[in-house]
Amino acid sequence: MKKIKKALISVSNKEELRPLLNTLSKYKIKLISSGGTYKKIKKLKHKCIEISKYTNSPEILNGRVKTLHPKIHAGILSKRDNKSHKRELIRNNFDEIDLVIVNFYPFEEKLKSTKNHSKIIENIDVGGPTMARAAAKNYNDVTVITSTKQYKKLINELNSNKGSTSLSFRQKMSEEAFSETAYYDALISDYFNKISKNFFPKKKIFVSNLIEKLRYGENPHQESAIYSKNEKLNITQIYGKKLSYNNYNDIFSALIISKSLPKNTGTVIVKHANPCGVSIHKDHKKSYQLALACDPISAYGGIISCNYKINKNLALELNKIFLEVVIANDFEKEALKILKKKKNLRLINANNLSLKDTNSFVSNFNSILIQTPDISPFHKKNFKVVSKRKPSIKEFKNLIFAFNICKFVKSNAIVLVKDNATIGIGSGQPSRLDSCKIAINKMNQFQKTNNSDGIVAASDAFFPFVDGIETLVQAGVSAVIQPSGSIRDKEIIKFANQTNTILVFSKTRHFKH
């Protein structure tokens, strides 16, 4: 146990101070403070010594230098059981400081509210993190508090120990203080990397907050948690039991597709991080029905993401099958009542989600792969029609829709589309030909009509041999879109012309492994 005799308080966030000050006063703990915090403490009718008087050194440089003084840091860093330290404190007329309560200038908030570089720089705290690090280092003797959320814990600790703190409490607060200073410095580092457009610096520091610990990972024997750059996710769970690791993985896979579709039209069904049905239609019920028709068996137990508001009529349709999660850009009240009848269903509002400034991460063997996401929209200039037969406006739109979905399907990927809806998806095969066969089998299994007019196909990479495109054409495909780059591109073009097939080349490849 260490008795708290003297505390230094220097906080940017001055909320919740009253109950804390009352407790410190209760145990006759002397207070030192600076600037606005000093004024706040005095306003709350508590005794306090201003730092400039305590150190006999004025605040200078417009407040940039206040707590950076030997009397402050010697008081924090001195080891209580070190005789030479004690002698030096006495020789210099310095006192021990037993408790440091700080929170930092709101750098993160300032980043959100302004692009003014000078204002952002002035909100880089120096004194606060320095004191926090000093106190955290000396946790054997000193208690450090770095968040208003810790005030209640400190109050309970002091009340339980009659004005003292335990070693375990100090160590825990030290751990949290070092996390706080590391997070703060990471924000600053990230800001400077962004303004210099240094996306891959020599030392990469990741900024993230714990959102929640999950029940387990992909399997019950694996531990898991979800972190975010923000304090909260930009999606909101409004109903249902806790989400699992696999749920989140599927949710992110569904959202990145639905956000890429034309607003207020798109429905995506995902199973095991792969789409099994996608469509765009102004009639939301029709949009869902078309997506479901692509592969209704795989949709069972899947996740649905709609880039529109779900109404009563669609909710009634959704309740006809078992789903794990339904995501939408909000829900009508009647729709919520209907969907909440399913006890095991989770409902997510993704209306506030933006894919701006996102990156993709893959981690294994204590290494991290980072890349920019493959989410840029397609334009006509990205493609070149290489066949003699040219696509109509409708056919070209279907080809681009198919190619957009294809880039979110695990490679090797083949997507069959008709009337702005997927009708067959082949994914994750080592052989592109096998993916073609799977997509065709899905189409033949679930499409009720034998009319093959208007079927288009997309491939996420070039066909290395004619057999792939030949298999698609034999199944009724009349137009194909694929990246160029194969040594057999000329053979593919020749085959397309011989079979009167539309062939469009993309200038970019879109693997998703």
Of the candidates 6, 85, 110, 137, the residue annotated as catalytic is 137
Token representation of residue 461: 């990479």
Tell me how far apart the alpha carbons of residues 11 and 9 are, in angstroms, rounded to a whole number.
6
Token representation of residue 155: 């109050």
H or E element, residue 362: strand 360-364
The answer for residues whose C-beta is within 8 angstroms of residue 175's C-beta and 6 or more apart is 136
| Phi, psi (rounded to 5 degrees) for 261 | -90, 160
H or E element, residue 55: helix 51-55
Query: How many residues does the structure list for the chain?
Result: 513
Tokens 């010594």 -> residue: 49
Check if 281 is active-site.
Answer: no
Of the candidates 272, 285, 309, 312, the residue annotated as catalytic is 272
Closest CA to 503 of 465, 476, 473, 475: 473
Tell me how far apart the alpha carbons of residues 44 and 9 are, in angstroms, rounded to a whole number.
14
Tell me how far apart the alpha carbons of residues 15 and 26 are, in angstroms, rounded to a whole number.
20
The answer for residues whose C-beta is within 8 angstroms of residue 486's C-beta and 6 or more apart is 462, 463, 464, 492
Token representation of residue 467: 């057999």
Amino acid type, 284: H
Tokens 């840091």 -> residue: 73
- Other beta carbons within 10 angstroms of residue 146's beta carbon come to 27
Going through 74-167 in order, the beta strands assigned E by DSSP cover: 99-103, 143-145, 164-165
Tell me how far apart the alpha carbons of residues 458 and 229 are, in angstroms, rounded to a whole number.
35
H or E element, residue 426: strand 421-426
The answer for residues whose C-beta is within 8 angstroms of residue 367's C-beta and 6 or more apart is none
CA separation (Å) from 310 to 132, 268, 307, 338?
A: 49, 13, 9, 11
Tell me how far apart the alpha carbons of residues 157 and 425 are, in angstroms, rounded to a whole number.
59
Closest CA to 331 of 257, 243, 238: 238
CA separation (Å) from 377 to 63, 253, 307, 374?
A: 48, 17, 16, 9
Check if 149 is active-site.
Answer: no
Catalytic residues: 137, 272
